[in-house]
Amino acid sequence: MGILLRRSIGALLAALLLGSLGVSQSAGATDDVWKALERGGRVVLMRHAITTSGVGDPPGMRLEDCATQRNLTDEGRAHARAIGEAFRERRIAVDRVFSSPWCRCIESAQLAFRRPPEVSQSLSNLFGRPENAARQIEGLRALIDGHAGKGNLVLVTHGSTIVALTGVSPATGEMVVVTKQPDRGFAVVGRVLVPTP
């Protein structure tokens, strides 16, 4: 009973937080989400593909040295390519691709979308860095609000960052698709997970 009560309270707090951030939750079925992407004008929050095992960053991690970070495995690289193929097979237009400065995100973005991503500090890993959440969420909201293209905006980031912004905890390589709202908020359209090859 105590665990159920704690989960209910946690769910209520998450709902209140999302409401204060201007997030509307309405997760659609996978086919509906792909159709929304085909129409364009959406924002895709993609968690990086599969990495070497571990949680967070290794001790002594440096952004300028990929060898000090958790990086994509061969399976992760194949998964990132499969995500890009799914977009190309459906002829889904992508206007711009942004990435966290972490190497696993940059590589996921480049393998999937076949171009170097633009790097944004707002997409940085929030795991173990809760003091950065408010500033990064504001930066992410500005990126989303600034998207005016007919195609889609892709933001490749970390699970912790996507949770902080949307309340949705994606699997590795999973995408949370959102659409802008007139009040500078956004609505969650749904989630898409391309199968690992």
Encode pLDDT of 106-155 as tens digits: 999 999 999 999 999 999 999 888 888 999 999 999 999 999 889 999 99
Q: Round to the nearest angstrom and report the end-to-end CA distance of the chain.
A: 41
pLDDT of residue 7: 35
Report residue 186's pLDDT band, with 50, 70 and 90 as the boundaries.
confident
| Fold that domain 24-192 belongs to in CATH | Rossmann fold (3.40.50)
Whether residue 101 has pLDDT greater than 50: yes
Vertex 56 angle, CA 52 and 59, to 5°: 90
**How high does pLDDT run on average in the chain?**
85
Length of the chain, in residues = 197
Cα-Cα-Cα-Cα dihedral sign, residues 167, 185, 175, 25: positive
Collapsed DSSP state (helix, strand, coil) of residue 102 = coil
> Using an 8 Å Cβ cutoff, are 173 and 79 in contact?
yes
Which of 11-15, 130-134, 164-168 comes out lowest in average pLDDT?
11-15
Between residues 51 and 181, the one the model is more confident about: 51
pLDDT of residue 171: 96
Q: Parallel, antiparallel, or unpaired: how do β-strands 152-157 and 43-47 relate?
A: parallel
Highest-scoring range by mean pLDDT, 2-6, 19-23, 165-169, 181-185: 165-169
Report residue 29's pLDDT band, with 50, 70 and 90 as the boundaries.
low
Percent of the chain at pLDDT above 90?
69
- Reference 76, options 36, 119, 41, 105; nearest CA is 105
Max Cα-Cα span within the chain: 51
pTM: 0.84
Whether residue 185 has pLDDT greater than 50: yes
pLDDT of residue 128: 81
Phi, psi of 100 (to 5 degrees): -60, 155
pLDDT of residue 16: 34
Whether residue 84 has pLDDT greater than 50: yes
Show me where the domains of the chain are located: 24-192
